[in-house]
Amino acid sequence: MILAFDWTQLAQQIVIGLASGGVWATLAVALVLIYRSTGVINFAQGEMAMFSTFIAWSLVNHGFSYWAAFVLTVAISFAGGVAVERAVIRPVERAPVLTVVIVTLGLFFVVNGAARWIWSPETRSLPNAFSTRPITVAGVAFSISDLGTIAVSLAAVALLWAFFRFTKLGLASRAAAVNPDASRLVGVRVTWMLALGWGLAAAMGAVSGMLTAPALASFDQNLMQPVLLYAFAGAVLGGIDSPLGAVVGSLLLGVLINLIGTYVNWVGTDLRLPVALAVILGVLLVRPAGLFGRPMETRV
Amino acid sequence: MRSRAPGIAVWLLVAAVVLLAYLFAPRFISDFHSRELAGAGVFFIAIVGLNLLTGYTGQISLGHGALMAVGGYTTAALAVHEHWRDVWTIPLAGVAAGIVGFLIGLPALRLSGLYLALATFAFAIAIPSLLKKFSGLTGGSQGLRLLEDAPLQVTGLSGTVTIFGHTMTQNHFLYYLTWGIGLVGFLIAWLLVRGRVGRTFRAVRDSEVAAASVGINLAWTKTLAFALSGVYAGVAGSLLAIQVEIVNPLSFTFLLSILILVGVVVGGLGSLGGMILGALFVQYLPDLSTHVSTAEGAPDFIFGAAIIIVMLLLPTGAGGFLRRLARPLTTRLYLRP
Amino acid sequence: MARVKYLILLVLGALALATVAAGAASETGVTSTQVTIGGTTPLSGPASAYQSVAKGAAAYFRYVNAKGGVNKRKINYIYKDDAYDPSKTVDATRELVSQDKVFAIFNSLGTDQNLATRAYLNALKVPQLFVASGATTFGNDYKKYPYTIGYQPNYRAEGTIYGRYVVKHAPKSRIGVLYQNDDYGKDLLAGLQRGLGAKAGLVKSKQSYNVDDPDVQSQIAKLKAAKVNTLMVFATPKFAIQAYVYARKLSWKPLVYMNAVSSAANIMGLSTAATNKKQTEGTISIVFLKDPTDPAWRNNSGMKLYRSIMKKYKGGNPNDVYAVYGMSVAHTFVAALQKAGKNPTRAGIVKAADSLNVTNDPFLLPGISVKTSATDHFPLDQAKLQRYHDGHWVAFGGLFRVR
């Protein structure tokens, strides 16, 4: 019985799941950053990442080398994230949370529409930062690109952790998120900390877009819409206030979707996503704060 | 006692104006605009329902478009498969969606805020896939067409409808049906909100711990709110199916859930008065955006910009703004010696 | 006596002329200077890339109007947004019919979208012309819906071509299918199975995907595991490119049949660049339009006309093959309107659309004609096979019927 089971297929589907999950891990980290600073899910995060991808494409198209374009895009996106926070989020900082959510929804349409208006809706491609040469180990195929994508997201998590833990700015940022009023009393510029959060998230989103586009082999203005969905689910599974959780959650979700689709016949490919989301909900009912999240304590 | 009389008089006047507007509006607008208003009415009903859940009980839902789908498909399936008269299916569509809303409310007991958003979001995403999967009942990706396959349509192809001996155009009938139900639904919601149920909802919204400590059953309240808002969404979905005479998975995507939520927040959370404005906003703005420019991407850009601008100017929505406007008036009315 | 007779004839003639003139002006949407037609297209939302079908047609009509129009009437083409939502299609179409009072509905996009309005339009006897959808029902169900007609070669027929080709040239293939989980993908698959006929068992694995799936890696892996050597890709461009890329990642090179929607030269170019020339070599597809990104047509007079119209009348992005489609269908409409005579009626244009014989469409492959008859309600049903070799398409064989 055990020998008849196709272990190679299982391993292959797991590896594919990790590769898929790795693609949306960085966007999940971006979502976590916004959540930690502003307390909302930024529904426009994917579109902002897509916009950054188009900027990178334009730069490459105008003769910049890939890495120059990469760094420049990250910098521009950081500035863009800060600008968005100051222009559109700051005015509603003290409004009900749902107002901010609706603003991010409005932002979704604005950024998507702008990207369609500036660049025509053709299918394009972005060069891959890593090699796509197929590698096969024990009958299971993958590429350096898959490993590279996961490595980048883990590196981002490590960098963020170091930033928040060891730098003064990072400490101020954490303080502003946890207790804005007390932070102001000790001289923390709270509103700029929020802007910093958005800038970092936008930069992370840019990285995400520039990894996603080559991983999915082509891109257009719809690139990040399905990715946002999965990143959101993965981030919540991992614990919405934990960047590491976002990465782990995304990887797990990728594996889960693939295994369900492959081995549960009734589900097939039609219902993979709903079933995977149902599984996540099951996890949340047992551990409401997600796998790595800290349970919220409310003072009465 | 005497100081309350002017307050009541004002409300009665408002009610009378609304009633008159409802009854006589079609005379002043074109036949086709009656149809567009009927579309706004559908949003209005869904928005009032979602407001009960999100505005008054403080629970977020990203899945009310899917609840509309439940209502719409119930109506279509009954009309096409079981040959029911389409308008008689409306209550059943509401009940079906109410039950589904209740079922969604159950996991909500353990989840809150963001996690509830994810749960309802998952439901919204799942619905089109489920609708396509069970194609025997739902017509799969083609959906169901009442105009062709439902023999007992009140609207149908004739162009006119005769109710109680009175003949009117199809579009006028849709308008009266939708807004009639809408006003009744609004009244029910208003009475609920003013009464004990409303106070219980608001207690839960403001502090669950405090509410529980005064003996409010959180589970019952939250699931009731979900079920009630589900009924409204189901009725709205049913009216949509009757209006456009088709149901299709593409009509009930996540975008619809977003539009309803936008309508609630723009209208003003926890304010019933603003809901009409919210409904008009989500009905007319997407269309207006295409009139401003049809360049690729421009309509979406304009729509999004309008949402942002409205939220920046009126963070508590139209209802919050109206309340601020009306405050000097009502204060004066109620504080007369 | 003769003078009285002459006078009577003159009066009768004048009366006849007056009635004809009055009758001409009384057809909805037709005046002495203008014909108004309308349709729906996704101007917003995720399907908005397809709006070039309407924009290309609009540019062509502006070109025709600049040359005087048809029978001295300019064509006023209104297209409204339905965001790809059939319930919005219903509302927008009703508005076109009752408010804008169009002569005919033309070039509305989408299968479900057009199905939603078909019964209504036929009941009101409003022509539903040249529906932009590849579903067979628009050409098959003309007895029930005589006012409706499609245009493009339908998906089921395309699938049948591939099936028949395999049976004839590679009857021992092991076929795998990657298809989109909607009418478009399922129609192609159904056509394939029909074309394979008795040899339908050659299909060893069918894997579907949804548009909001993250990628099709899992499906490709399963197809390879089924030891398939011929891969039918019934997918839209994004996933078609992924099929090549993920096959290469698995060190797998099946023979690919690429459906026409994703076979444009620039898409194939992206696939080749993302893998290598070997991976896309030998891919088979059908073609009926001139591809604006194919260098073979650079000096072709038809494509030169296309580019000049796109530029002068602001048709949008000239590299978009959907715009070429839009111009072709507009060209056919003009022919039908011409045929409907000096005083077109709704019934008249339907009759003209049912008896087309247009051989001079500059946007279609040379030799393809737009033909309809009492028993043939598929205006475009010819195509050529083409094979991808060394980075570009090479048509082979003759024109054949795509039915």
What pLDDT band is residue C17 in, cutting at 50, 70 and 90?
low
Q: Does C390 lie at the interface with B, CB-CB under 8 angstroms? A: no
Residue C49's domain is classified under what CATH number?
A: 3.40.50.2300
Domain membership of residue C23 (yes or no) is: no
| pLDDT over threshold 80, residue B48 | yes
In chain C, % of residues over pLDDT 70: 93
What pLDDT band is residue A266 in, cutting at 50, 70 and 90?
confident
| pLDDT over threshold 90, residue A285 | no
CB A9 within 8 A of CB A262: yes
The pLDDT value recorded for residue C102 is 96
Phi, psi of C213 (to 5 degrees): -70, 150
pLDDT in tens, A120-148: 888 899 998 888 888 998 889 888 999 99
**C→A interface, C-beta within 8 Å:** 46, 48-49, 181, 207-215, 217-219, 221-222, 225, 237-238, 241-242, 244-246, 248-251, 266-267, 270-271, 273-274, 316-317, 319-320
Among C43, C78, C145, the strongest candidate for a mutation testing the B interface, having the largest count of B CBs within 10 A, is: C43
The pLDDT value recorded for residue A1 is 46
Mean pLDDT (whole number) for C152-163: 92
Phi, psi of C145 (to 5 degrees): -125, 75
Pairing of strands B246-247, C370-371: unpaired
Residues 85-104 on A with a CB inside 8 Å of B are: 88, 91-92, 95-96, 98-99, 101-103
Domain membership of residue C4 (yes or no) is: no
Among A140, A220, A269, A277, the strongest candidate for a mutation testing the C interface, having the largest count of C CBs within 10 A, is: A269
pLDDT in tens, A227-243: 998 998 899 889 888 99
Residue the block writes with tokens 């530029």: C311
Domain membership of residue C140 (yes or no) is: yes
Are C138 and C200 in the same domain? no
Domain membership of residue A295 (yes or no) is: no
The pLDDT value recorded for residue B4 is 60
Q: What is the DSSP letter of C291?
A: P
The pLDDT value recorded for residue C11 is 58
pLDDT in tens, C275-316: 999 999 999 999 999 999 888 899 999 999 999 999 999 888
Q: Which of C48, C49, C217 sits opposite A16 (nearest CB)?
A: C217
Domain membership of residue C61 (yes or no) is: yes
Q: What is the ipTM of this complex?
A: 0.89
| pLDDT over threshold 50, residue C24 | no
**pLDDT, chain B, mean:** 86
The pLDDT value recorded for residue B334 is 60
Q: How many other C-beta atoms are found inside a 10 Å radius of the C-beta of residue A178? A: 10
| pLDDT over threshold 90, residue A73 | yes
Domain membership of residue C25 (yes or no) is: no
CB A233 within 8 A of CB A131: no
CB B300 within 8 A of CB B217: no
Between residues B57 and A78, which one has the greater pLDDT?
A78
pLDDT in tens, C315-346: 888 988 899 999 999 999 999 999 999 999 99
Are C61 and C132 in the same domain? yes
CB A246 within 8 A of CB A32: yes
Asked if A13's CB is within 8 angstroms of C218's CB, the reply is yes
Q: What is the DSSP letter of B55?
A: I
Q: Does A229 lie at the interface with B, CB-CB under 8 angstroms? A: yes
Asked if A240's CB is within 8 angstroms of B114's CB, the reply is yes
CA distance B109 to chain A (A): 9
Domain membership of residue C223 (yes or no) is: yes
Q: Which of C49, C214, C222 sits opposite A121 (nearest CB)?
A: C49
Asked if A113's CB is within 8 angstroms of B297's CB, the reply is yes
Burial of residue B281, with CB atoms counted within 10 A of its CB: 0-12 exposed, 13-18 middle, 19 or more buried? buried
Asked if C217's CB is within 8 angstroms of A254's CB, the reply is no
Q: Which of C45, C99, C112 sits opposite B248 (nearest CB)?
A: C112
Q: Does A134 lie at the interface with B, CB-CB under 8 angstroms? A: no
Mean pLDDT (whole number) for B187-215: 85
Q: Does A282 lie at the interface with B, CB-CB under 8 angstroms? A: no
Both tokens of A3, joined, read 């020998």
Asked if B297's CB is within 8 angstroms of C91's CB, the reply is no
Are C274 and C325 in the same domain? no
CA distance A164 to chain B (A): 24
Closest by CA position to C350, among listed C182, C155, C146, C160: C146
The pLDDT value recorded for residue B332 is 65
| pLDDT over threshold 60, residue C115 | yes
Mean pLDDT (whole number) for B25-45: 89
Among A27, A122, A229, the strongest candidate for a mutation testing the C interface, having the largest count of C CBs within 10 A, is: A122
pLDDT in tens, A175-212: 887 888 888 888 888 888 889 999 999 999 999 999 99
Asked if B111's CB is within 8 angstroms of A273's CB, the reply is no
Q: List CB contacts (< 8 A) between C241 and chain A.
A: 123, 217-218
Asked if B35's CB is within 8 angstroms of C44's CB, the reply is no
A272-286 and A225-238 helices, crossing angle to 10°: 20
Mean pLDDT (whole number) for C68-76: 94
Which contacts (CB < 8 Å, 24+ apart) does range C272-279 have? Answer: C272/C391, C273/A125, C274/A125, C274/A132, C274/A214, C274/A217, C274/A218, C274/C241, C274/C244, C274/C245, C275/C244, C275/C245, C275/C248, C276/C248, C277/C390, C277/C391, C278/C253, C279/C244, C279/C247, C279/C248, C279/C253
Closest by CA position to C192, among listed C163, C157, C169: C163
In chain B, % of residues over pLDDT 70: 95
Domain enclosing residue C89, as ranges: 34-153+296-372
pLDDT in tens, C80-91: 999 999 999 999
Q: Any residues with CB less than 8 A from the CB of B152 and at least 6 apart, and which?
A: B79, B83, B84, B85, B86
- CA of C183: which chain B residue's CA is closest? B141
The pLDDT value recorded for residue C357 is 94
Residue C33, classed as helix, strand or coil, is coil
Are C94 and C232 in the same domain? no
Q: For chains B and C, what is the number of CB pairs under 8 angstroms? A: 84
Are C168 and C112 in the same domain? no
Between residues C3 and B167, which one has the greater pLDDT?
B167
Pairing of strands C255-258, C230-234: parallel
pLDDT in tens, C230-271: 999 999 999 999 999 999 999 999 999 999 989 988 899 999
CB B66 within 8 A of CB B124: yes
Mention the CATH class of domain B2-335. Answer: mainly alpha
CB C298 within 8 A of CB C323: no
Domain membership of residue A296 (yes or no) is: no
Residue A10's domain is classified under what CATH number?
A: 1.10.3470
pTM: 0.90
Range list of β-strands (E), C259-353: 284-287
Distance CA B8, CA B334 (A): 10
| pLDDT over threshold 60, residue B6 | yes
Helical ranges in chain B per DSSP H = 4-28, 31-50, 64-81, 90-108, 113-133, 135-138, 146-149, 170-194, 196-206, 208-213, 218-244, 254-267, 275-292, 298-313, 317-334
Rounded to 5°, the CA angle B298-B290-C69 comes to 105
Mean pLDDT (whole number) for C384-388: 94
Asked if A222's CB is within 8 angstroms of C221's CB, the reply is no
User: How many structural domains are present in chain C?
Assistant: 2
| pLDDT over threshold 90, residue B202 | no
Are C162 and C273 in the same domain? yes
Residues 53-112 on C with a CB inside 8 Å of B are: 80-81, 83-88, 90-91, 94-95, 98-99, 111-112
Q: List CB contacts (< 8 A) between C86 and chain B.
A: 143, 244, 246, 248, 250-251
The pLDDT value recorded for residue B157 is 72
The pLDDT value recorded for residue C18 is 52
pLDDT in tens, A14-31: 999 999 999 899 999 999
CA distance C113 to chain B (A): 9
Between residues B314 and C108, which one has the greater pLDDT?
C108
Q: Does C297 lie at the interface with B, CB-CB under 8 angstroms? A: no
Both tokens of B70, joined, read 């439940």
What pLDDT band is residue B161 in, cutting at 50, 70 and 90?
confident
Q: List CB contacts (< 8 A) between C49 and chain A.
A: 121, 220
| pLDDT over threshold 50, residue C23 | no
Distance CA B183, CA B185 (A): 5
Are C162 and C266 in the same domain? yes
Q: List CB contacts (< 8 A) between C144 and chain B.
A: none
Rg value, chain B, Cα: 20
User: How many structural domains are present in chain A?
Assistant: 1
What pLDDT band is residue C15 in, cutting at 50, 70 and 90?
low
Asked if B209's CB is within 8 angstroms of A284's CB, the reply is no
Asked if C320's CB is within 8 angstroms of A120's CB, the reply is yes
Domain membership of residue A299 (yes or no) is: no
Q: Does A185 lie at the interface with B, CB-CB under 8 angstroms? A: no
Mean pLDDT (whole number) for A155-175: 88
CB A260 within 8 A of CB A272: yes
| pLDDT over threshold 80, residue A268 | no
In chain A, % of residues over pLDDT 70: 96
Are C178 and C134 in the same domain? no
Are C104 and C61 in the same domain? yes
Are C177 and C241 in the same domain? yes
Q: How many other C-beta atoms are found inside a 10 Å radius of the C-beta of residue C164? A: 17
Domain membership of residue C29 (yes or no) is: no
Asked if A99's CB is within 8 angstroms of B304's CB, the reply is no
Between residues B112 and A258, which one has the greater pLDDT?
A258
Mean pLDDT (whole number) for C175-196: 93
| pLDDT over threshold 60, residue B2 | no
- CA of B283: which chain C residue's CA is closest? C88
Q: Any residues with CB less than 8 A from the CB of C255 and at least 6 apart, and which?
A: C170, C173, C229, C230, C231, C282, C283, C284
